[in-house]
Amino acid sequence: MRPSLTWLPLVLAVTAACGAPPASVRDLLKATERTTDPAARAALIETFVATRPNPVVEQNARLTFFVKDDGSGRTPRIVGDFNSWATTPQGYDAKVGTLTRIEGTPWSYLESTAFTNARLEYVFLYEKEAVPDPRNPHKIRTFAGERSEIKMPFRAGQPEIDGPAPSAKGTLAAETFPSRTLNGTRRIWTYLPAGYEGGQDLYPTVYFLDGGNYAEWMEVPAVLDRLMAAKSLPPFIAVFVEPASRQEEYSRNPAWRAFVATELVPAIDKRFRTFPAPEQRLIFGSSLGAYGAVDLAVAYSSVFGLCAAISPPAQASTLLTNQAQGQRAVHGVRFYVMGAVYDTDVMGARTLRTALEEASADVKYEEVPEGHAAETFRAYIDNALRTLLPAPVS
């Protein structure tokens, strides 16, 4: 966005009086304080923001958002991962994200900080309307609607997410699977890695809960193609399993557990060339699905010897602490637990890790500088699987 030419005489006048144009946010704010003419003050801001992204990132960690009134006098709040989406220990705070007006101008600003390697999501909040930042070209699709995205200067690239598709691709097949214990059907998707057809090798199996999200909406099969083509992961079979009701079936539901462990797993083992052993079978879940994954690993440790719990909810640790079999089962299961630093419920991951460690379980814990988001879950699949699956053959 270029400043209007009508501002240039004012900018030149201010520059002549004050020296060089502001090089930093701090310089800009000081310059606006010294400038008595409101029009010249606004011109300084227009010129500064015209050549910089929103937010302005300085010292690799400082964030400054500049927002111009939308023409109707409305000024949004800015809420996102960096300010916990206005959530505090006392509850929701409607003042969090309030901007500071630069007097005499239509401009306001908000300052914050983030880890130098973070990935953050945020929105402009107008009362109950949430919209992406119009000055930030980086948008991301989420289950809650479109958001703006920030990738801090030292965030590592992830070619498995946005790199080119490899020439060798796996195959994905969707079907409706009948269940006696559930007295109904559930949707599943089966991913076979490139090279499966015509071979004789046996493969580990990874079961993803919230299967529709992972198989279709989050396009995880394409991520797996890239990871396997780069030999970051060994080839494996993936089964994406969709619940009818997450709240019901991921909450210690014996019928759901029996469906997955005693109906679906044997059918997959019979139909495909799997390693039919718990140490070669992984249950993977994120958010409430992480609770469901741990629940299955605890209830059926003889089936699932590997468990990945990504951003689990606060009550996940009770699966171990409130059940006798929880303490016993963990000794036959290897766990990977991931928390997100900017997740408002990051204590769920931390308390689960503590419960596993106190039970002397085999667990690797990791925290990443992101929030509770589908893109986060998708981007760290490889961390979990590299930890739990056997190393790829070079």
Residue 288 in this model has a pLDDT that exceeds 80: yes
Q: Would residue 343 count as lying in a domain?
A: yes
- Residue 79 to residues 76, 127, 333, Cα–Cα distance (Å): 9, 12, 39
Rounded CA gap, 321 and 223, in Å? 35
Rounded CA gap, 316 and 117, in Å? 28
Other C-beta atoms closer than 10 Å to the C-beta of 74 total: 11
Q: Would residue 186 count as lying in a domain?
A: yes
Identify which has the larger pLDDT, 199 or 138: 138
Tens-digit pLDDT profile for residues 152-194: 999 998 999 988 999 999 999 999 999 999 999 999 999 999 9
240 and 188 in contact (C-beta within 8 Å)? Answer: yes
Residue 19 in this model has a pLDDT that exceeds 70: no
Q: Would residue 101 count as lying in a domain?
A: no
Rounded CA gap, 229 and 165, in Å? 9
What pLDDT sits at residue 394?
56
Q: Would residue 108 count as lying in a domain?
A: no
Tens-digit pLDDT profile for residues 331-342: 889 999 999 999
Other C-beta atoms closer than 10 Å to the C-beta of 360 total: 10
What pLDDT sits at residue 332?
86
> What's phi and psi for 176, nearest 5 deg?
-105, 120
Q: Would residue 64 count as lying in a domain?
A: no
Helical axes 220-229 vs 381-388, angle rounded to 10°: 50
Banded model confidence at residue 10, pLDDT cuts 50, 70, 90? very low
Q: Would residue 96 count as lying in a domain?
A: no
> Could you list the residue range(s) of the whole structural domain that residue 327 is in?
160-388
Banded model confidence at residue 392, pLDDT cuts 50, 70, 90? low
Q: How many domains does the chain have?
A: 1
153 and 116 in contact (C-beta within 8 Å)? Answer: yes
Helix (H) or strand (E) segment spanning residue 270: helix 265-271
What pLDDT sits at residue 175?
97
Average pLDDT over residues 84-105: 93
Q: Would residue 276 count as lying in a domain?
A: yes
Rounded CA gap, 66 and 70, in Å? 12
The CATH number of the domain where 269 resides is what?
3.40.50.1820
Q: Which residues contact 213 (CB under 8 A, 6 or more apart)?
A: 374
Tens-digit pLDDT profile for residues 228-268: 999 999 999 999 999 999 999 999 999 999 999 999 999 99
Q: Would residue 293 count as lying in a domain?
A: yes
Percent of the chain with pLDDT over 90: 84
3-state secondary structure (DSSP) of residue 52: coil
Percent of the chain with pLDDT over 70: 94
Residue 307 in this model has a pLDDT that exceeds 90: yes
Mean pLDDT estimate for the chain: 92
